[in-house]
Structure 1
Amino acid sequence: MATGSFRNGRYIPETLLTSLEVRICLCGDEGTGKSSIITSLVKDVFVTHKIQPVLPQITIPPNIGTPENVTTTIVDTSALPQERTNLNKELRKSNVIMLVYSDHYSYERVALFWLPHFRSLGVNVPVVLCANKSDLSANINTEQIVEEEMLPVMAEFKEIDSCIRTSAREHHNINEAFYLCQKAVTDPIAPLFDSKESNLKPACVSALERIFYLCDKDQDGYLNDKEICDFQQKCFNKSLGEEELENIKQAISKYSATVVTPKGISQEGFVLLSRIFAEKGRHETIWIILRTFHYTNSLSLQNSFLTPKFDIPPNSSAELSPAGYRFFVDLFLLFDRDNDGGLSPTELSALFAPTPGLPPAWSADSNSFPSSTVCNEANHITLQGWLAQWSMTTFFSPKTTLAYLAYLGYDPPDHTTTSALHLTTPRKRTRRSKRPLKTDRNVLLAYVLGPPSSGKSSLLDAFLSRPFSPTYHPTIKPRVAVNSVELPGGKQCTLILEELGELEPAILENQSKLTTADILVYTYDSADPDSFAYILSLRNQYPHLDNMPALFVALKADMDKSTQRGDLQPEEYTTSLGLQKPLHVSVTWGSIGEVFVQIAEAALWPGSAMPSVGSGEGEEGVDWVRWGVVGGAVVVVGAAVVGIWRRVRGGRE
């Protein structure tokens, strides 16, 4: 769902497409022409006959000389003492104040009475200073008025947003005055510019630096001519000529000679250009830039852009779409500046510069990123590991991926990040056996269960091609390992192995957590005679585990195999469940990769890994497939018996 649309040749974000009301309160001494200004706006002509002292409130609907979708309410007021209560009431309700003066006396009252009065009421809204009846001082140019009258009072009172000279009689600058009032609300200068310091505010600078980063496509620290033209087209929906481009560079160079080089405009120069706009009262231009990149009036990214609506149906999961994978591949290649096939901490820091930092889940504990995925010998994350990490993030928390897509600059033509993700088909079960059919997931989750010291952590290390360590470290917090697995035929999928640690009981008891997994991998130490008993105890304690696909793995097969204590050996037990016998593997063997292929295949075809018991047919767990085979055999035997009986009977007769 798009977060805005194009109107009048430029992009209007969602925040402005909803109706916004701007309430303008006109104040000033009696006789300054407040009512005449309103009348001139409405009728487009000056009314010569006497009009009532205070005009009734008027409302101008959107698109009638107003900014996009802005409803404007104009309130006239009286300066008479007996009307002070109503004046104060209207001031408190206003979004912006047009303060009107028309001669020297009313001008002096601006600083001596009106602006201090606003402050005494606690009214903190922008003020547009309006010098009316400019036709009476035609011999004085506007520049002189600004220099002698307006700038001194603006320097003293920071709430003054802008100034303008008008004439209601000549209908001069009337529309422009109300436009300034509207823009003072829709495009406020206060969040952008500190007039006391004569500089952009830190939050504005931070937003502009992020925008520069996103527009610097080659990440060389400069906006070259093409990048500037692309920026112009994106923000203002029009191209930039060579002469205009040169004028922009010259304007920046006048302030600082070092910010424009043959490579282009530096980040400092880009921010400086916006400061020039703010100083010249062209803050609307800055807001167009900010809103194009989805910033709100508080200079935060729009919630609808960071967290768009993305619902996941039951039994479905979220995965990266081809567009999402392509974006993350391009990002990796762009920031792998030394072309060593891995992202160093410095390169990662540069990549995540426009974000709040690494996603919180990535750095939750010592076993997290980059330890959770594939790294090279220097412990720098590889492209394979980078894509696997984002695939896992999308699986567990698609909202996190959507937010970081927005932070990192994924902004397709429809302005929605959800195109980088897609939903898998809900997992289904047949009506008869209720066994899961083949899943269309490309990202698979396996819970790795087993007794302490059975080798689960070493299995996860081997999955990430980490060297075997004989030192035993018990797993307390959950640990994940994610990598891609190539299946027979060349198809690839992403497999997440999760060791549950001390949270194992809580997760196995939680049905929603349990069914998130595609398969359960039961591991035991084939050299320890007491190891398999843990699995039997676990499955007896949680009988609903029979409803999950399962694969049994006997680890440490490089050591002498021990007979497990108990009534059933692992091979007999798995056979009784209708499952394949345990895979005997060792993390020290070169063939360890085959076990991950088998885990992935069993997760993709969960029907082949479902235990016979607990297949969903009640407490007895009827296995309809086996009953079908037995039933067929009974029918065949019965038919044969009937045939023999008839022959014997016929012979006797």
Structure 2
Amino acid sequence: MSKETIKVVVCGDHGVGKSSLIISLVKGRFIPNVQKVLPQVTIPKDFSSNPYSPKNTILVDTDNNNPEQLQRELKSADVLWLVYSDYESYERLSMYWITTFRSLGLNLPVVLCKNKCDYLENESMPLNRKIEDDEFLPIMANFKEIETCIQASAKMQAGINQTFYLCQRAVAHPIAPLLDSRTSELKPLAIAALDRIFFLSDNDQDGFLNDDEIINYKRNSFKKKIDINELNFMKETLFNLSVTREEYSLQLLFVPNKGMTRDGFLALNKQYAEQGRHETTWAILRAFNYTNSLSIDNKILSPILTVPSTSSVELSSKGYRFLVDLFLKFDKDNDGGLNDQELLFLFTSTPGIPKLWSSSNFPLSTVVNNRSFITLQGWLAQWSMTTFIDYKVTTAYLVYFGFEEDAKVALQITRPRKIRRRLGKAYRAPVTDRTVFNCFIVGKPHCGKSSILESFLARTFSDVYSPTIRPKIAVNSLEMKGGKQCYLILQELGEQEEAILENKEKLDKCDVLCLLYDSSDPESFSYLIELLTKHTHLNKVPVIFVACKADLDKQQQRCDTQPDELAESLSLAHPLHISSAWPSSLNELFVTIADTALMPLNGTIGFPDDDKNTSKMDDTQRWMLVGSAIGVVAIFSFTLAKLMQTSRK
């Protein structure tokens, strides 16, 4: 059964009028003699004036003489329309029917209908209050499965449409997840959902919903603007609740000149549920993408994206704009950083800081100020990294933060990576549409990998050595030559280095492999030779060699091939010499990493400089040809236009 279709199973004792109710609903008139059990009936949405009705509603009549079939129908139902008509069938409600439902393990809403109330002459006739008090109230108090009770008459065509609507409402807008029938209190999950909605609707974050904020959240929930009369009625309702209800006497529900409080918002929705108007609360919940289980719809949190295996996912301009606004909104002291309290408050509407962030030592994985508070630059860099590594985390948190559009519009998918061939060897084509690049920092322990990450985040160099066990990440923005901005993710692999380098999927996500060695340690470079010898597949990933601690005395490496010689034999550039004491060398390293990510051939093993220069010329010639073609077409079009203009004269 899809969510667009619900199944209503009509059940009850023999002779209570189940079939008559169904045929009266469908035909719109009473038919005295109907067959014993009606076939299944499908009622389309157009049949009902209920705006919240599903696309199709299936009505199923039941035969008590076939218990196996009856049980199958009950188990497949979305809601049970339980019918009785006299004292005997009323007694069997608790003795047989409710017991049967429970024995089958059913957790379904039950709409209880007393049929053959033939004193009802039309839909607007008042209920018999004696029946309501004597029959409905006790059974609803004893059996929480029964969501609502109603009187009807198939003969008089009364109460049937209302009963059908109540069955639809029991599925579309169930009361059970909202209100505890025994205590008449909102349930914890309902409170948590409404708290989040209040938080997101409180745009100025002052703890009150002012008139504009109420109008805005109402418009978002009901797709219409409320007028001043509705607004005043809401305020009057909250005032009356605080005066007449003992439970609210000491709580502030509405404060003049400020607005509705969080307690007032909860009290209002509790009253909706108590008065049978819980579809109002559900309209609010649905607008914020809540399901019947009061969890946010997974389809909204994780929209389906078709991402080719060699493509990456980045934030779009809309995504960046939303995250900038979010940062500025919660930077209460306007100091350019989110302190611990501001950060905690920002994540109030979410399950908390993403696990991906916690595992990467956030906020020290990105740019922070001198008090270790994340800056706007670091905030955007962190989300760029998150989107690149696992875009589903980003879409989910955008929804949690209240992004009002489909989360997919906050993302963009880059073109698949192209593989070119030259002289029988493959290499990655130049990159033109990406701004986020991923680099693995690899090398022997104590060669300076962590210092590279710290330097990238403008942290002070420390002589204290601390071995890296778990993978470590640093992400920051980088200004390229010509002023172009990109984001660079540097990953130190720690003790998982071996496993990650053997993982094809992770290597495919690596744009550059940065191979580090300590130029002052004669045993350092041999580690890289062994690495490349063991993992021959690494020749498919662009590589750069880096000699760290270049401010110290350079040592001859104890291996058969020296760094410069190996680089030349692999047709790569000589190692780049850097030092934490030379800031310009570090900046050169980061730019080189980004340049290599953009032009992968420059770092691809086995291509002499002549081939690389030829490839650059090929790319230039290709663009020149495109430009020439455009020029020829333009000249031809201009000439043709002139000729046509002349012929008209």
Amino acid at match of 1:235: S
Match 1:609 to one of 586, 600, 603: 603
* Aligned equivalents of 1:22, 1:342: Cα separation in 2: 54
1:181-220 matches, cutoff 5 A? 181-220=167-206
Partner residue in 1 for 2:109: 126
Name the SS of the counterpart of 1:61 in structure 2. Answer: strand
1:256-295 matches, cutoff 5 A? 256=242, 258-261=252-255, 262-295=257-290
Amino acid at match of 1:27: G
> Does the 8 A contact of 2:6 with 2:54 survive in 1?
no
* Aligned equivalents of 1:427, 1:266: Cα separation in 2: 53
Name the SS of the counterpart of 2:141 in structure 1. Answer: helix
State yes or no: 1:229 paired with 2:215: yes
State yes or no: 1:59 paired with 2:41: yes
Partner residue in 2 for 1:436: 428
Name the SS of the counterpart of 1:222 in structure 2. Answer: coil
* Aligned equivalents of 2:556, 2:76: Cα separation in 1: 84
Partner residue in 2 for 1:8: none
Note the aligned Cα RMSD (angstroms): 3.0
Partner residue in 1 for 2:247: none
State yes or no: 1:420 paired with 2:400: no
User: Relative to structure 1, is the Cα distance of residues 248 and 392 closer, same or farther in structure 2, using a 3 angstrom cutoff?
Assistant: same
Name the SS of the counterpart of 1:445 in structure 2. Answer: strand
Instruction: Map Cα deviations across residues 540-576 of structure 1 (whole Å, 9 max, x no partner).
Output: 3333333332222222222233343455543344344
Amino acid at match of 1:130: C
Aligned sequence identity (%): 47
Partner residue in 2 for 1:639: none
Rg larger in structure: 1
Name the SS of the counterpart of 2:203 in structure 1. Answer: coil
Amino acid at match of 1:503: Q
Shift of 1:122: 5.5
User: Relative to structure 1, is the Cα distance of residues 118 and 450 closer, same or farther in structure 2, using a 3 angstrom cutoff?
Assistant: closer
Amino acid at match of 1:24: V
1:574-653 matches, cutoff 5 A? 574-591=567-584, 592-611=586-605, 613=606, 615=607, 624=611
Instruction: Map Cα deviations across residues 59-81 of structure 1 (whole Å, 9 max, x no partner).
Output: 03322434221322141557xxx
Shift of 1:244: 0.5
Amino acid at match of 2:338: L
User: Relative to structure 1, is the Cα distance of residues 141 and 575 closer, same or farther in structure 2, using a 3 angstrom cutoff?
Assistant: closer
User: Relative to structure 1, is the Cα distance of residues 76 and 555 closer, same or farther in structure 2, using a 3 angstrom cutoff?
Assistant: closer
> Does the 8 A contact of 2:18 with 2:61 survive in 1?
no
> Does the 8 A contact of 1:27 with 1:77 survive in 2?
no
State yes or no: 1:479 paired with 2:464: no
Match 1:539 to one of 521, 532, 541: 532
Name the SS of the counterpart of 1:391 in structure 2. Answer: helix
Partner residue in 1 for 2:158: 172
Structure 2: gaps (5+ residues): 243-250, 617-649
State yes or no: 1:160 paired with 2:146: yes
* Aligned equivalents of 1:84, 1:564: Cα separation in 2: 86
Q: Following TM superposition, where does structure 1 have runs of at least 4 consecutive aligned residues deviating by more than 6 angstroms?
A: 82-89, 137-140, 626-629
Match 1:343 to one of 338, 344, 357: 338
User: Relative to structure 1, is the Cα distance of residues 121 and 514 closer, same or farther in structure 2, using a 3 angstrom cutoff?
Assistant: closer
Name the SS of the counterpart of 2:268 in structure 1. Answer: helix
User: Relative to structure 1, is the Cα distance of residues 131 and 604 closer, same or farther in structure 2, using a 3 angstrom cutoff?
Assistant: same
Partner residue in 2 for 1:642: none
Shift of 1:384: 0.9
Shift of 1:212: 2.0
Deviates more, 1:392-401 or 1:145-154: 145-154
State yes or no: 1:39 paired with 2:33: no
User: Relative to structure 1, is the Cα distance of residues 459 and 191 closer, same or farther in structure 2, using a 3 angstrom cutoff?
Assistant: same
User: Relative to structure 1, is the Cα distance of residues 462 and 188 closer, same or farther in structure 2, using a 3 angstrom cutoff?
Assistant: same
Shift of 1:506: 2.5
**Count of residue pairs the alignment pairs up:** 596
Shift of 1:251: 1.7
User: Relative to structure 1, is the Cα distance of residues 145 and 252 closer, same or farther in structure 2, using a 3 angstrom cutoff?
Assistant: farther
Shift of 1:241: 0.6
Match 1:320 to one of 311, 315, 326: 315
User: Relative to structure 1, is the Cα distance of residues 520 and 320 closer, same or farther in structure 2, using a 3 angstrom cutoff?
Assistant: same
Amino acid at match of 1:361: L
User: Relative to structure 1, is the Cα distance of residues 543 and 255 closer, same or farther in structure 2, using a 3 angstrom cutoff?
Assistant: same
Name the SS of the counterpart of 1:46 in structure 2. Answer: coil
Match 1:25 to one of 10, 30, 35: 10
1:443-482 matches, cutoff 5 A? 443-482=436-475
TM-score, normalised by the number of residues in structure 1: 0.83
TM-score, normalised by the number of residues in structure 2: 0.84
* Aligned equivalents of 2:165, 2:221: Cα separation in 1: 21
Shift of 1:426: 2.1
Name the SS of the counterpart of 1:431 in structure 2. Answer: strand
Shift of 1:127: 2.5
* Aligned equivalents of 1:398, 1:87: Cα separation in 2: 47
Name the SS of the counterpart of 2:175 in structure 1. Answer: coil
Partner residue in 2 for 1:649: none
State yes or no: 1:238 paired with 2:224: yes
Deviates more, 1:439-448 or 1:253-262: 253-262
* Aligned equivalents of 2:91, 2:499: Cα separation in 1: 74
Partner residue in 1 for 2:80: 97
* Aligned equivalents of 1:336, 1:628: Cα separation in 2: 49
> Does the 8 A contact of 1:25 with 1:90 survive in 2?
no
* Aligned equivalents of 1:446, 1:283: Cα separation in 2: 53
Deviates more, 1:99-108 or 1:209-218: 99-108
* Aligned equivalents of 2:604, 2:69: Cα separation in 1: 78
Q: Which has the higher relative contact order, 1 or 2, with Cα contacts under 8 A spaced 6 or more apart?
A: 1
* Aligned equivalents of 1:542, 1:132: Cα separation in 2: 78
* Aligned equivalents of 1:140, 1:427: Cα separation in 2: 71
Name the SS of the counterpart of 2:348 in structure 1. Answer: coil
> Does the 8 A contact of 1:128 with 1:180 survive in 2?
yes
User: Relative to structure 1, is the Cα distance of residues 277 and 520 closer, same or farther in structure 2, using a 3 angstrom cutoff?
Assistant: same
Partner residue in 2 for 1:637: none
User: Relative to structure 1, is the Cα distance of residues 122 and 458 closer, same or farther in structure 2, using a 3 angstrom cutoff?
Assistant: closer
Name the SS of the counterpart of 1:430 in structure 2. Answer: strand
Partner residue in 2 for 1:548: 541
User: Relative to structure 1, is the Cα distance of residues 118 and 359 closer, same or farther in structure 2, using a 3 angstrom cutoff?
Assistant: closer
> Does the 8 A contact of 1:57 with 1:76 survive in 2?
no
Shift of 1:232: 1.8
Name the SS of the counterpart of 1:136 in structure 2. Answer: coil
Shift of 1:305: 1.4
User: Relative to structure 1, is the Cα distance of residues 89 and 357 closer, same or farther in structure 2, using a 3 angstrom cutoff?
Assistant: closer
Deviates more, 1:196-205 or 1:551-560: 551-560
Shift of 1:117: 6.0
Name the SS of the counterpart of 2:474 in structure 1. Answer: strand
User: Relative to structure 1, is the Cα distance of residues 142 and 490 closer, same or farther in structure 2, using a 3 angstrom cutoff?
Assistant: farther
Instruction: Map Cα deviations across residues 398-449 of structure 1 (whole Å, 9 max, x no partner).
Output: 122222222222231xxx3122111112222333254433213211111112
Amino acid at match of 2:7: V
Amino acid at match of 1:571: D
Match 1:310 to one of 305, 320, 327: 305
* Aligned equivalents of 1:164, 1:625: Cα separation in 2: 82
